[in-house]
Amino acid sequence: MTAKKLYIKTYGCQMNVYDSERMAEAMGGEGYEVTQSPDDADMILLNTCHIREKAAEKVYSELGRYKGLKAAKPDLKIGVAGCVAQAEGAEIMRRQPLVDLVVGPQSYHKLPQLTAKATGGAKALDTDFPEEDKFEHLKGRTKAKRGPTAFLTVQEGCDKFCAFCVVPYTRGAEVSRPADRVIQEAQDLVERGVREITLLGQNVNAYHGHDAGLAGLIRELSKINDLKRIRFTTSHPNDMDEALIAAHGDCEKLMPYLHLPVQSGSDKILKRMNRQHTAEQYLKLIERMRAVRPDLHMSGDFIVGFPEETEEDFQATMDLVQAVEYGSAFSFKYSERPGTPAAERPQVPEDEKDDRLQRLQGLLTKQQRALQDAMVGREVQVLFEKPGRQAGQMVGKSEYLHAVHVDTSDGQGGSRIAVGDLAKIRIESSKTNSLEGVLLSS
């Protein structure tokens, strides 16, 4: 029997990447194989994100591109999953009749049943927040060989209700997966070739599926012999407890890179955002983190032009960035999210947002480049992920998440390094978004 083809387009964060993998696995049990082209597909799934501006309109625009495909292949099934599906629900089917099924991020374990319903000619919709654990209902991961890095969702949802964010409404309340199930999934990934796992959650350091929280889970995972590296994202400053701080100092497998969003350096704006911490508390937390791990590279998120933000408020953000010295960061102009408290407040003019974003990104880029340049001459451990663009070259990531290019040729047309290997590298030069080094040992 010829396998059916499934095309998944993934928008947004790493959690959506993980979810798309699991949806593909669920549909694999129904005889579907993943294809990289919608033209070949028997089913198209858009796994959507609702965080950025005009997210829903971008989805409708993408759906419009499939009208010709649907007309040419009437049996083609088209589905919308993820956070836009959760937020829009049946409105998606009303506005775009070619959609056969809509499924929210907490219900995608029901994809086979929804697909069967759609195949029978009915529209299929499920945007509930079910009581059952979707991960327990999903078929086990296929046993195929994996690349050296993988995402692993351990926590979903958020209880913080930041004034700009739709996550509590689209992903629901904070829920943590039991530690034993996470550990089992991690062991399975490692058996298939994974050497680095990034633990995911909308508010991952609020994880409570282990008696000792996220730190306890990390320490358990570090006991898996062939798991060499552990990372986690995304965190909230208020959930960075003493145990997790200590883990950064004494857990060798936990990498010295921390993504810790602050959003603003102004206490007035932080209060209006409902962040429930001050700029000083954030800075003191980073001091404590760097006391236990001096080489820690920081990453952050920033929103400029939040409602009622003044130039003075923006300068407070610039001051905070100067104090922290970020190795990387993500910065955005505020965009209104319907249904959130901030959307109802007086808005900052777009030209002011543009100007502030340009200045902030200029400072962040300068810091990122300075910290990257400072790596020249240092020795790092690189986990190699893929061949480079140049012959005889391999590319991997350092402990600090820098991309590192290395000539690994053996002089006979082969390589001294394989994908998945860890090797000590001396950094020789710094490029725009990467480093170059030479192999010292493997």
Nearest 5°: the CA angle 201, 255, 434 is: 100
Distance (Å, whole) CA 109 – CA 138: 5
The structure tokens listed for 142 are: 């296929």
- Residue 162 annotated as part of some ligand binding site: yes
Instruction: Give the CA diameter of the chain.
Output: 66
- Residue 251 annotated as part of some ligand binding site: no
Single out the residue of 51, 110, 56, 103 nearest to residue 79, CA to CA: 103
**DSSP-derived 3-state class of residue 42:** coil
CB 155 within 8 Å of CB 188: no
**DSSP-derived 3-state class of residue 393:** strand
CB 383 within 8 Å of CB 195: yes
| Calculated CA dihedral for residues 135, 136, 142, 146, nearest 10 degrees | 40
Single out the residue of 102, 108, 100, 65 nearest to residue 87, CA to CA: 102
In angstroms, what CA-CA distances link 327 with 6, 87, 251, 367? 38, 34, 21, 7
Annotated binding site for [4Fe-4S] cluster: 13, 49, 83, 158, 162, 165
Q: Which residues are annotated as a binding site?
A: 13, 49, 83, 158, 162, 165
